[in-house]
Amino acid sequence: SQYLQKTQDKTHHIINPCHTLEADSWEIIEGLKIGQSNVQRPDKHEGFMLKKRKWPLKGWHKRFFVLDNGMLKYSKSPIDIQKGKLHGCIDVGLSVMSIKKRARRIDLDTEEHLYHLKIKSPDIFDSWVVKLRYHRLYRQNEIVRSPRDATMRTFPPPSPPAPSSSTSLPPWQSPQAPSTRSSLPASYSNGQSKVAAWLQESEEMDKCTEELARCQSSLIELSKLLQSLEGLQRTQSAPNFTDMQVPSLPVSASMSPTRLHSSNPNLCAEQVDFQTPVSRQIPDNMECGGDYIKLQEDFCLIAQKVHSMLKSAFNTVAMEKEKIKSVLSDQEQSERSAQVITLRKSLSQALSQNAELKTRLGRIHSESVLSEQTISVNLITSPDEVRGIPLTQQTSNESRLSMSESVSEFFDAQEVLLSASSSENEASDDESYVSDVSDNISEDNASVTDNVSRQMPNGDLAGSAFRNGRRPCLPAPSPDCSNINLWNILRNNIGKDLSKVSMPVELNEPLNTLQHMCEELEYTELLDRAADTEDPYERMAIMAAFVISGYSSTYYRAGSKPFNPLLGETYECIREDKGMCFIAEQVSHHPPISACHADSNKFTFLQDVRWKNKFWGKSMEILPIGTVNVILPSFGDHYEWNKVTTCVHNILSGRRWIEHYGEITVRNTKSSACICKLTFVKGNYWSSNVNEVQGFVMDQEGKVVRRLFGKWHEGLYCGVPPSARCIWRPGSMPTDYELYYGFTRFAIELNELCPEMQDLLPPTDARFRPDQRHLEEGNVEMAASEKQRIEDMQRTRRKWQDENDIKHEPRFFKKVVDANQRERWVTNNTYWELRKSPGFINMENPNLW
């Protein structure tokens, strides 16, 4: 089953030997070794420890822990434990356990949650570590012996049947043969399944149960006979019974618990502790008494009887097994037939609708009469003229000119253009979203004019050639990473910053962190809309939607990581369709800091962020440090917000999934009219609130004026259900996105390198990075070789700078101190000037690769 596979995967990882590390490093506690068994049940252990508060709370609080049979329970006090008021329960056997001796820290990673524990006393810390080791080994041994126990751990064990007062029976024997149909599980007694109905009506299984019960009674008799024979041997100097040739039993009396349990649910699964007599030859000169011979004969007869009953039960089970197969096969065939009928019906309806729509469109076309005066299109003869008109406005105007006001059939087919971005060429089906957004975007989204023209002479859009289309797909699909053993790479880096650890190139995606920062601007139409919204509360709600939209592209991207930029690496992105130009640069290597700046005629976007990546055994946390800023010149607003923590779960096994959790506060530093708080709810993969976002906009008196809710990968709504309106919804994913790193349409376009762009970009642009380019083209071996070469070059370059006391100076960004005494990186406004004249191709540029 799926659980057994997961348990085996985890066991495969946790049985790796422990690596002795320094006292100030994290140490992974070894698990159950292969072949290790008969682990003794450890004693119960309890006491107080400090536990790190669950998000969103901070700090440590004191909790009482009880460790029993490999399960670590905790609550506020011992009294709460006795009352059953538990705050949580951790399966130590299924967790990755790591310790840090100097800090006296214990971390338990259960995939769904990460528990941080701390102990002040060194002696108590050592005691807890020892006890956790023993209980972990014991629990893992129990899981290996009975994997089913792991899934049933939270359920109380079934009560054993009460023994009969007249006969003292062993634990495994029922006092009577209960009816199969009376003790079936509830899932079988509901009559929903054909197999369940067959089980309830089957008499063969009842007979099999009775035969096995009689067989158990016969085994008791055999045991008693064996004891009597041994008694005669001792008291009457009788010959040794075990030296006599006895017909061997075909099936051992110590019946397999799995066989008993799977044959019928009414039979207990504990082992029968009887042994088959050893066969030997009796001496010819041995004289046997009458009682002794009679006992021998009885023993043989009962043994043959047991053999016959077991053989009959085996044949019965085999026949019933074939019946089950037949029933299941018939059920599957009937389900398939029903599905085929449904599909045929749906196809027939679709064909009928299609024919009706064709007829209607034909009638509309025949009745449409376009006036000469309504078609007044100015022909554009050069790319320069095209640059002066926003792409969305071009498309919108053309579509409006193509409609005739006299065609009444168009009353329910109003032309809607959400965005000319290739990632959003499908209209949303939310009517409120369409009505609120479409007009603003189609009329107001313009090319780079005011802000950009201040940086680029003559207002020319960086001298780029006219683009009539972008690529819809990557050159090659993502490589297979199943043969990479991540555990060998990560086990020595528990709790460390993974940004300094070199990873196999197969784990990367053909984008780097600078391009990821540009990807946050996929939905800039929200900023355009905010720049045209008079109401400050509504404007703040739209800004909240833009904040959340920056996380939507990560939903399908948990399987790979971006390339780490080299020091001095740059990236530019000019989007005529969005009226935006973007630049980014890696301004620091240790710590890694990426800075970016984007300009439009309606907004300015800037941020400098540094990341810390930490591995905790089964999950990896990405901790961003820094703020994001957006300036809306039309209102003089300056919005500022922080970023939340990102966690990638199931790093080592299973299906990886990504989660964002934390709180974001969006402030307008130029006005105290309102503030917005967004909470990314922490959940788990199977919970209903996974990826949930909740928030509200408050006025300066603390009154909630807008309520926001949704999911960061599905959309954001404002109001109270069911009357809430949609503020934002992500675009549809491209075809076969699973095969191409889970990229959105916008992400596919970020690393595209057109021939006309090569002479305009600086050689440090990420598009020229060879290892990233080879990975995008599917050449993994060459990508790995180039990645190693580039990293060696960077180390050599840094060593030379350290030896010569040379400090790296970013080319296009500078460090400043803001009003809150925080260091920030902002553009020095030289990139577009140098790009225009003299041009990067005519300048001396650093050689990064």
**What would the two tokens of residue 634 be?**
């039309």
Please name which of 572, 598, 588 lies closest in space to residue 762, comparing C-alpha atoms. 572
Burial of 659 (0-12, 13-18, 19+ CB in 10 A): buried
Torsion, CA 221, CA 226, CA 227, CA 232, rounded to 10: 130
| Average pLDDT of span 4-32 | 55
Phi-psi region of 463 (alpha: psi -120 to 50; beta: other; left: phi over 0): left
- Long-range contacts formed by 346-350: CB under 8 A, 24+ apart: none
Residue 512 C-beta-side C-alpha neighbours within 13 Å: 27
> CA separation (Å) from 194 to 203, 207, 262, 263?
16, 21, 19, 19
What number of other Cβ atoms are within 10 A of residue 168's Cβ?
A: 8
CB 269 within 8 A of CB 258: yes
Tell which wins on pLDDT, 292 or 82. Answer: 82
Residue listed under structure tokens 């799926």: 2
Task: Please give the Cα distance from 677 to 56 (Å, whole number).
Answer: 13
pLDDT at residue number 491: 66
Per-residue confidence band for 202, with pLDDT thresholds at 50, 70 and 90: low
What number of other Cβ atoms are within 10 A of residue 407's Cβ?
A: 15
DSSP per residue over 739-781, as a string? GTTT--HHHHHHT---GGGTTTS-TTBGGG-HHHHHHHTT-HH
CB 658 within 8 A of CB 555: yes
Torsion, CA 519, CA 610, CA 715, CA 679, rounded to 10: -170
CB 403 within 8 A of CB 415: yes
Task: Please give the Cα distance from 703 to 707 (Å, whole number).
Answer: 11
pLDDT at residue number 814: 93
pLDDT for residue 215 is more than 90 = no
- Domains (range + CATH), the chain: 2-151 (2.30.29.30), 205-321 (no CATH), 452-842 (2.40.160.120)
| Average pLDDT of span 692-712 | 93
pTM across the whole model: 0.53
pLDDT at residue number 283: 43
Lowest mean pLDDT among 18-32, 193-207, 597-611: 193-207
Task: Please give the Cα distance from 776 to 478 (Å, whole number).
Answer: 8
pLDDT at residue number 200: 53
Task: Please give the Cα distance from 152 to 147 (Å, whole number).
Answer: 9
* Coil vs helix vs strand at 825: strand
Lowest mean pLDDT among 74-88, 118-132, 462-476: 462-476
Q: At what angle do helices 2-14 and 122-145 cross, to 10 degrees?
A: 140
Task: Please give the Cα distance from 810 to 569 (Å, whole number).
Answer: 10
Average pLDDT over the chain reads: 74
What number of other Cβ atoms are within 10 A of residue 440's Cβ?
A: 18
Backbone angles phi, psi at 444, to 5 degrees: -110, -15
**What would the two tokens of residue 296 be?**
């021998």
Q: Give every CB contact of residue 380 below 8 A, 6+ residues apart in sequence.
A: 386, 389
What is the β-pairing status of strands 645-649 and 657-668? antiparallel
Tell which wins on pLDDT, 329 or 520. Answer: 520
pLDDT for residue 431 is more than 60 = no
Task: Please give the Cα distance from 485 to 466 (Å, whole number).
Answer: 46
Per-residue confidence band for 328, with pLDDT thresholds at 50, 70 and 90: confident
pLDDT for residue 545 is more than 90 = yes
Tell which wins on pLDDT, 736 or 217. Answer: 736
CB 273 within 8 A of CB 254: yes
Per-residue confidence band for 782, with pLDDT thresholds at 50, 70 and 90: very high
| Average pLDDT of span 100-127 | 89
Lowest mean pLDDT among 530-539, 606-615, 728-737: 606-615
What number of other Cβ atoms are within 10 A of residue 792's Cβ?
A: 10
Task: Please give the Cα distance from 619 to 640 (Å, whole number).
Answer: 30
pLDDT at residue number 634: 93
What number of other Cβ atoms are within 10 A of residue 539's Cβ?
A: 23
Tell which wins on pLDDT, 151 or 353. Answer: 353
Measured in Å, how far apart are the chain's first and last C-alpha atoms?
Answer: 48
Per-residue confidence band for 600, with pLDDT thresholds at 50, 70 and 90: very high
| Average pLDDT of span 384-392 | 42
pLDDT for residue 197 is more than 60 = no
3-state SS string for 334-378:
HHHHHHHHHHHHHHHHHHHHHHHHHHHHHHHHHHCCCCCCCCCCC
Q: What's the chain's length in residues? A: 849
Enter the DSSP assignment of 829: S
Task: Please give the Cα distance from 212 to 306 (Å, whole number).
Answer: 9
Identify the H or E element spanning 407. none
DSSP per residue over 574-625, as a string? EETTTTEEEEEEEEETTTTEEEEEEEESS-EEEEEEEEEEEE-SS-EEEEEE
CB 773 within 8 A of CB 848: no
Please give the share of the chain, as a percent, with pLDDT higher than 70: 67
> CA separation (Å) from 198 to 180, 313, 574?
12, 18, 68
Tell which wins on pLDDT, 768 or 235. Answer: 768
Please name which of 659, 656, 660, 700 lies closest in space to residue 676, comparing C-alpha atoms. 700
CB 151 within 8 A of CB 158: no
| Average pLDDT of span 510-539 | 94
Per-residue confidence band for 2, with pLDDT thresholds at 50, 70 and 90: very low
> CA separation (Å) from 100 to 23, 25, 107, 108, 125?
7, 6, 9, 12, 10
DSSP per residue over 215-265, as a string? HHHHHHHHHHHHHHHHHHHHHS-PPPGGGS--PPPSS-SS--HHHHHHH-T
CB 651 within 8 A of CB 486: yes
Lowest mean pLDDT among 51-55, 591-595, 704-708, 719-723: 51-55
